[in-house]
Amino acid sequence: MKKQTYGISVLLASGLLLAACSGEEENAAQNNEGTGSGEEENMDDMNEEENMNMEEEMNENDEEMNMEGSRSEFEENFAELPESFNEGAEEGLQTMNTKNVTRLEGDNPEHFSITASQTIWPATHEHNQPGAVILADPAEWEKALAALSLVHHPNDGPLLLLEEGLSEEILAEIERLSPKGNEEGVEILAALELSDEDREQLEEYEVDEITEDEPAAFAKEVEDRFAETIGERPENVLIGTMNEEHKIASITAGSWISHMNESILYVEDEVPEPTREALEEREGSANIYVMGGESAVSEEVVEELREYGDVERIGGDGPVDHSIDFAAYEDDHFGWGIDEPGHGLVFASPEEPELALAGAPLAHLGKHAPMIWVENDELEEAHVEYLARLKPSFEENPMEGPYNHGYILGGEEIISFQTQGVIDDKMEIQPLDGGGHDEH
């Protein structure tokens, strides 16, 4: 019986052991099955999220491509001149200003400079009074141009043009402006030698005269004085020709040197000694920007300039292309970089470049606008293509902006109302889809 009992006990123990093992395996299998199911669900969730992200990115890329395509078509549609004109549009005009273009006029360069001064410096209170007023002779365009670097802060003042000494109108404008004085207390900066009579009429003001006779030496003297005023000599510098035939290329720089602390220095068939001395002050680290093509500044002169730093030529075939290239140009150190909507532009005629000198401070305050030349009162293909790139557009409503604004320098005898009307239209904000303002 004992043997039989022992055998039964062994069988029972073996059965229990097998059952336990079987249960563990079953539990393990169930656990594994649960874990696998969870991992699969997690993988599905991750894949779904990735797919959604990819879909969102694809939609964003599609929208971006559609926007780029729409903008490209928009610009192409507006890069055209009108095929016909309304000959009666100028009849009975009571204003020469239009919604997107302000015209500044004057009977002569002196009167025009007063108009520009009153437009840019209302002088109604201390905050919009100038620090110092700059006087120059429009017949000495090289000196008047170089003096534009004095327009910037802390002088913050207009360029008034004296055709035959100090007139009553110029004196009245100086009195209206009531200059506050720059950091050195100077209220009048004369970029010319005043007569004894002129000095007497200005005796109640603190006056500083720059009397260098030769243009290259004058430009260096202006740079020296302004560097002393602001406490530094900028590494960036513009180079222009003194050659009368190519002065338009140099005058194009006027807006930039009014806008920034940088100056213009002069060259001709070679680099004059005063210009060399000014460049040497930069100790080989100058960033030099040459205004105009090889007809204005030769490649030989450019090679001479390379002794003093990096040189970049801003060329262009003729005044129009050059001014547009300059307005669009930008690098890491320098340039307007205006190639999208939301800016101001000044339009001037090479036939009256003196107006561009007095109007250059529109780049200093207000819209900070570079200048574009308009030759012979004609808008060219280059104009409309550039204006199409800058033309504002909107998707939902025109209040989105941005907006453009233009200034025309001079009367309709040099830039007509018809030309102004085309510029005004090219600056108008329009729906990106090419429709009109019907719903706005």
* pLDDT tens digits, 220-236: 999 999 999 999 999 99
Q: How far apart are CA 247 and CA 267, in angstroms?
A: 12
Smallest CA-to-CA distance from 290 within 334, 228, 259 is with: 334
Which range has the worst mean pLDDT, 139-143, 280-284, 390-394?
A: 390-394
**Concatenated DSSP letters for 110-173?**
HHHHHHHHHHH---SSGGGS-S-EEEE-TTSHHHHHHGGGGSSTTT---EEE-SSS--HHHHHH
Report residue 393's pLDDT band, with 50, 70 and 90 as the boundaries: confident
pLDDT over 60 (residue 5) = no
Torsion angle defined by CA atoms of residues 418, 421, 423 and 428, in that order, rounded to the nearest 10 degrees: -170
Q: Which carries the bigger pLDDT value, residue 77 or residue 178?
A: 178
329 membership: H or E segment, kind and range: none
State residue 391's pLDDT score.
94
Report residue 434's pLDDT band, with 50, 70 and 90 as the boundaries: low
Q: How far apart are CA 172 and CA 188, in angstroms?
A: 14
SS3 label, residue 312: strand
Single pTM value for the model = 0.83
State residue 45's pLDDT score.
61
* pLDDT tens digits, 356-383: 999 999 999 999 999 999 999 999 999 9
> Quick one: tokens of 155?
């002088």
Report residue 388's pLDDT band, with 50, 70 and 90 as the boundaries: very high
The gap from C-alpha 137 to its chain's centroid, in whole angstroms, comes to 28
Smallest CA-to-CA distance from 234 within 128, 175, 298, 309 is with: 309
Residues 65, 371 contacting (CB under 8 angstroms): no
**Concatenated DSSP letters for 365-429?**
STT---EEE-GGG---HHHHHHHHHH--EESS-GGG----EEEEES-TTTS-HHHHHHHHHHHS-
pLDDT over 80 (residue 299) = yes
Task: Tell me the chain's radius of gyration from C-alpha atoms.
Answer: 36
Smallest CA-to-CA distance from 357 within 202, 135, 192, 155 is with: 135
Residues 248, 373 contacting (CB under 8 angstroms): yes
Which whole number is the average pLDDT over 22-41? Answer: 50
State residue 121's pLDDT score.
99
User: What does the chain come to in residues?
Assistant: 440
pLDDT over 80 (residue 47) = no
* pLDDT tens digits, 156-203: 999 999 999 999 999 999 999 999 999 999 999 999 999 999 999 999
* pLDDT tens digits, 309-348: 999 999 988 999 999 999 999 999 999 999 999 999 999 9
State residue 8's pLDDT score.
33
Instruction: Give percent of the chain with pLDDT exceeding 90.
Output: 77
Share the mean pLDDT of the chain: 88
Q: How far apart are CA 237 and CA 265, in angstroms?
A: 7
Q: Is the peptide bond before 109 cis (omega within 30 degrees of 0)?
A: no
From residue 211, alpha-carbon distances to 136, 190, 231, 391, 436 in Å are 11, 8, 22, 45, 57
Q: How far apart are CA 29 and CA 31, in angstroms?
A: 5
From residue 320, alpha-carbon distances to 78, 181, 248, 356, 367 in Å are 19, 37, 10, 14, 21
> Quick one: tokens of 47?
């894949």
Q: How far apart are CA 200 and CA 178, in angstroms?
A: 17
SS3 label, residue 285: coil
pLDDT over 70 (residue 63) = no
SS3 label, residue 238: strand
Q: Is the peptide bond before 158 cis (omega within 30 degrees of 0)?
A: no
From residue 21, alpha-carbon distances to 16, 29, 56 in Å are 9, 12, 52
> Quick one: tokens of 288?
């030099």
Q: How far apart are CA 335 and CA 256, in angstroms?
A: 8
Report residue 58's pLDDT band, with 50, 70 and 90 as the boundaries: low
Report residue 46's pLDDT band, with 50, 70 and 90 as the boundaries: low
* CB-based contacts of 165, cutoff 8 Å, min separation 6: 195, 197, 198
Is the C-alpha dihedral spanning 38, 41, 43, 46 positive or negative? negative
